[in-house]
Amino acid sequence: MKKGLTVLIVLAVIVTGLFFWVKNSYNRLVSGEEQVSAAWAQVENVYQRRADLIPNLVATVKGYAEHESETLESVIAARAKATQVTVNPDQLSDEEIAEFQAAQGELGSALGRLMMITENYPDLKANRNFADLQAQLEGTENRIATERKKYNDTARAYNISVRSFPANIIASIFDFETKGYFKAADGAETAPAVEF
């Protein structure tokens, strides 16, 4: 009788310990996944801020550079495309992020072309509204870089927990998957040639 009670107590301790280990591991993974989703939401937030600045910027430039309609239309089209690309936070794969990043890159290129044409219009460059919008856009680009780094850091911490033993057992049982990263654009490893 005493031996049976001891075995029962030992089994109860093992089952209780196993339960708390699974519960804690699962909750850590859920917490990590939520942190990744929150970081992704902040990335989308700063990209949306940039998209919201563009109509005002285009309208300001249009008043000074009406015959640059092709450039203005390309900015508007790139903005429309970039705002249509959405990524489900549950599906943050490398491919999904690359697609999102490509659309945002097209918008960035179009904005770069828009800023280049403004060099031809001294009155536009002197316009206070344009200068304010340009400063806000530059600040937003810095925020984008910061939030992308925060997202990558959060995703890295989460991915480590998903792939580390023994939490990887719980992750595979409950279908927790690693998240993708923002990566440098193709060709970013090559410095541009500077000619004088």
CA distances in angstroms from 177 to 30, 95, 103, listed in the order given: 11, 14, 25
Please indicate, yes or no, whether the overall pTM of this predicted structure exceeds 0.85.
no
Is the predicted pLDDT of residue 2 greater than 70, yes or no?
A: yes
What domains sit in the chain, N to C, each tagged with a CATH number? 38-153 (1.20.1440.20)
pLDDT tens for 149-166 read: 999 999 999 999 999 998
pLDDT tens for 94-128 read: 889 988 998 998 898 888 888 888 777 777 777 78
Size of the chain, expressed as the number of residues it contains: 196
Q: Which residues contact 26 (CB under 8 A, 6 or more apart)?
A: 170, 174
